[in-house]
């Protein structure tokens, strides 16, 4: 079930209605029923995948936390983690799935051609899911939490339907505390209004902005001969708009839905395109993934005896200041390779979402002593320099996106070539319309991007760790009617300008495929 | 080891790791208060503290400390 669909809206309505009618004690059971139903709607294989993952991590967590010898607990923990990673790799990589599907088709003599039924039956968004489940096992092993004793409660954590397809990623400690709030939560008009506004805003981002930007993206990425020069730039920037509107719009629907139920999930975005550096960008973009990787991969790598030893050797070789950075650089390499690989196992992801960003961050760290000398000379504390930093960071992010969106590595390189290639059509309004977008649609897209940027600029705080300004608080200041007026306006905008309806298949969320 | 003695040693560790002889930490000190204490430098600090006191933080403690006060509590618990 797509999160941006009439079916999902009906699902939320039913979920919330019953949720607030039944006694508090029964709500977690209701949420579990809904979540299992949501899994079933995702297909039989989604349910099987989720159940296998839930049972193994629940058992693995309990065995990893038992008061036995650390070595035995390590074995239980490692077996559970490896099993779940293997399960993810198996369902993610279609080559393997094709093989299984072919066998199954053959076995069932269904007559289906090759593997299509399995191809679409594999669970979506399961990368987030698997990492989160692995996080639970590691939390038990590292004694951050006591293992959950009630399997049904754990199953709710594992299947909670709002976040199941695209995140955000949760820790068990945080989400179980939120889920416990369901017993006490009372219906409130304010919560209904806030959740509804957030869901409508998510729909607007996806159906009005992302789907229009997709037209320009598909044209420019699809034809490097016709669309050269500025068209390439237009396509690349449009993809940055599409991906952000798509992914953050999805998160708005997820967080808005959960907020309706009185269960608050962590934010995944914080004005990412206003980051001053790539390091800051990753603290503002896909925040929960960054936190997971830091806590469960980066820190544990750096704390291994091998990396501590490397640190000792490099300090002796390069001095204290430079030497202590060597293990960090190496751990970064492992981390960013994993980030890229996690996005889909293809080189375009490993480079575009992984190693390229590693290069940005590590080279920035290496050049820091030089930057420290230059900054006072060029008066880097002035506003102009911050604007330069924002533009530069955005440009570096765009380079990565070219790899991410292209069909493969050679295609990405051809896209860069198209930027300087001559022979394409002239850049004018007719040329842009030739990409498949009408003039009114173009206006709507531009206005949508301005609105998106205005909201992000309003929310922006210079320190990425500070709580962003709340647009809902601003709306609430206008009184109850102002809130509902904003909601009605957003709904109208979606109804009038949204790309939906009979015969129109809104694209799946980009990150749901991850 | 008393809390004061732990702080005496801990200040030296902070001054050494962050290259600043003026650093004085207390119970309420957080990463936001110390220039350079970011996610990359955090592990260097943790390893330096472990070596100074001859203890080993768990991964839960490594990532879960909210302030220096909690770090001192854990150090005392490990030493105890």
Alpha carbon of B46: minimum distance to chain A alpha carbons (Å): 9
Q: Which residues of A touch B60 (CB under 8 A)?
A: 139, 142-144
ipTM: 0.88
Sign of CA dihedral A8, A12, A15, A21: negative
Task: Kindly report the average pLDDT of chain A as a whole number.
Answer: 87
CA torsion, points A429, A434, A439, A443, in degrees to nearest 10? -80
pLDDT classification of A501: cutoffs 50, 70, 90? low
pLDDT at A194: 92
pLDDT tens per residue across span A21-60: 999 999 999 999 999 999 888 778 788 888 999 999 999 9
The mean per-residue pLDDT over the stretch B3-12 comes to: 92
3-state secondary structure of B48: helix
Sign of CA dihedral A337, A338, A339, A341: positive
pLDDT at A360: 95
Task: Kindly report the average pLDDT of chain B as a whole number.
Answer: 90
The mean per-residue pLDDT over the stretch A301-313 comes to: 93
**pLDDT value at A473 more than 50:** yes
Ordered by start, the domain boundaries in chain B are: 3-79
The mean per-residue pLDDT over the stretch B21-33 comes to: 90
Is B42 in contact with A311 (Cβ distance < 8 A)? Answer: no
Testing the interface with A: which of B30, B43, B44, B49 to mutate, by most A Cβ within 10 A?
Answer: B43
Token pair for residue A404? 């991410």
Ordered by start, the domain boundaries in chain A are: 6-187, 196-265+406-514, 266-393
Find the residue in A nearest to B32 (Cα).
A465
pLDDT classification of A476: cutoffs 50, 70, 90? confident
pLDDT at A507: 56
Answer whether A39's CB lies under 8 Å from A46's CB.
Answer: yes
**pLDDT value at A118 more than 60:** no
A28-32, A62-66, A237-241: least confident range: A62-66
Q: Which residues of B touch A311 (CB under 8 A)?
A: 44, 47
| B26: contact with A, CB 8 A cutoff | no
pLDDT classification of A267: cutoffs 50, 70, 90? very high
pLDDT classification of A114: cutoffs 50, 70, 90? very low
At the topology level, CATH places domain B3-79 in: 1.10.1200
Q: Which of A138, A324, A365 has the CB atom closest to B44's CB atom?
A: A324
Alpha helices by DSSP H, A205-298: 211-222, 230-260, 278-284, 287-293
**Phi, psi of A464, rounded to the nearest 5 degrees:** -65, -20
Comparing CA positions, the residue from A229, A192, A289, A163 lying closest to residue A424 is A229
Is B63 in contact with A299 (Cβ distance < 8 A)? Answer: yes
Sole residue written with tokens 């936190």 = A291
Q: Which residues of A touch B46 (CB under 8 A)?
A: 303
Find the residue in B nearest to A311 (Cα).
B44
Testing the interface with A: which of B40, B57, B74 to mutate, by most A Cβ within 10 A?
Answer: B40
**A298 to each of A293, A338, B33, B59, how far by Cα in Å?**
6, 10, 23, 11
| B1: contact with A, CB 8 A cutoff | no
Answer whether A4's CB lies under 8 Å from A253's CB.
Answer: yes
3-state secondary structure of A380: coil
A17-21, A111-115, A193-197, A208-212: least confident range: A111-115
Q: Which residues of B touch A139 (CB under 8 A)?
A: 60
Alpha carbon of B21: minimum distance to chain A alpha carbons (Å): 15
A250 vs A226: CA distance, rounded Å: 33
């Amino acid at each position: 079930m797509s999160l941006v669909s009439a079916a999902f809206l009906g699902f939320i309505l039913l979920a919330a209605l019953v949720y607030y009618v039944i006694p508090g004690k029964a709500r977690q059971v209701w949420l579990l029923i809904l979540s299992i139903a949501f899994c079933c709607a995702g297909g039989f294989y989604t349910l099987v995948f989720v159940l296998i993952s839930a049972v193994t991590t629940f058992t693995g967590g309990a065995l990893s936390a038992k008061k036995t010898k650390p070595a035995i607990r390590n074995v239980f923990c490692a077996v559970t983690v490896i099993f779940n990673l293997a399960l993810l790799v198996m369902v993610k990589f279609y080559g393997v799935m094709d093989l299984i599907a072919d066998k199954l088709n053959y076995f069932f003599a269904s007559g289906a051609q090759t593997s299509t039924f399995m191809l679409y039956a594999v669970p979506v968004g399961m990368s987030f899911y698997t990492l989160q489940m692995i996080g639970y096992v590691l939390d038990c092993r590292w004694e951050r939490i006591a293992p959950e004793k009630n399997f049904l409660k754990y199953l709710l954590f594992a299947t909670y339907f709002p976040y199941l397809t695209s995140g955000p990623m949760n820790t068990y400690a945080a989400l179980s505390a939120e889920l416990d709030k369901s017993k006490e939560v009372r219906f409130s008009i304010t919560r209904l209004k806030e959740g509804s506004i957030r869901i409508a805003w998510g729909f607007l981002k996806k159906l009005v902005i992302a789907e229009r930007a997709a037209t320009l993206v598909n044209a420019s990425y699809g034809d490097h001969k016709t669309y050269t020069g500025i068209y390439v730039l237009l396509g690349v920037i449009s993809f940055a708009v599409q991906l952000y509107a798509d992914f953050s719009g999805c998160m708005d629907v997820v967080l808005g839905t959960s907020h309706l139920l009185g269960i608050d999930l962590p934010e995944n975005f914080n004005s990412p395109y206003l980051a001053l550096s790539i390091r800051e960008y990753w603290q503002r973009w896909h925040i929960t993934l960054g936190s997971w990787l830091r806590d469960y991969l980066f820190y544990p790598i750096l704390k291994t005896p091998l990396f501590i030893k490397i640190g000792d050797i490099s300090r002796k070789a390069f001095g204290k200041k430079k030497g202590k950075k060597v293990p960090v650089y190496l751990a970064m390499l492992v981390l960013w390779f994993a980030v890229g690989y996690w996005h889909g196992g293809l080189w375009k992801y490993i480079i575009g979402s992984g190693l390229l960003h590693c290069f940005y961050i590590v080279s920035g760290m290496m050049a820091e002593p030089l930057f420290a000398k230059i900054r006072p000379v060029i008066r880097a504390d002035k506003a102009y320099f911050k604007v330069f930093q924002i533009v530069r960071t955005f440009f570096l992010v765009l380079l990565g996106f070219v790899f991410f969106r292209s069909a493969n590595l050679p295609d990405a390189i051809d896209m860069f070539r198209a930027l300087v290639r001559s022979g394409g059509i002239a850049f004018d309004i007719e040329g842009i319309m030739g990409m498949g977008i009408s003039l009114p649609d173009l206006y709507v897209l531009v206005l949508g991007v301005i609105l998106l940027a205005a909201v992000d600029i309003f929310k922006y705080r210079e320190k990425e760790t500070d709580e962003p300004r709340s647009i809902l608080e601003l709306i609430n200041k206008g009184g109850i009617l102002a809130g509902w007026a904003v909601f009605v306006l957003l709904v109208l905008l979606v109804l009038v300008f949204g790309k939906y309806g009979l015969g129109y298949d809104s694209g799946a969320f980009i990150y749901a495929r991850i | 080891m008393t809390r004061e003695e732990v702080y005496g040693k801990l200040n030296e560790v902070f001054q050494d790791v962050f290259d600043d002889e003026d650093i004085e930490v207390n119970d309420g000190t957080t990463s936001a208060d110390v220039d350079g204490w970011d996610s990359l430098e955090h592990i260097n600090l943790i390893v330096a503290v472990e070596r100074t006191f001859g203890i080993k933080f768990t991964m839960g403690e490594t990532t879960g400390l909210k302030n220096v006060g909690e770090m001192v509590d854990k150090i005392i618990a490990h030493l105890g």
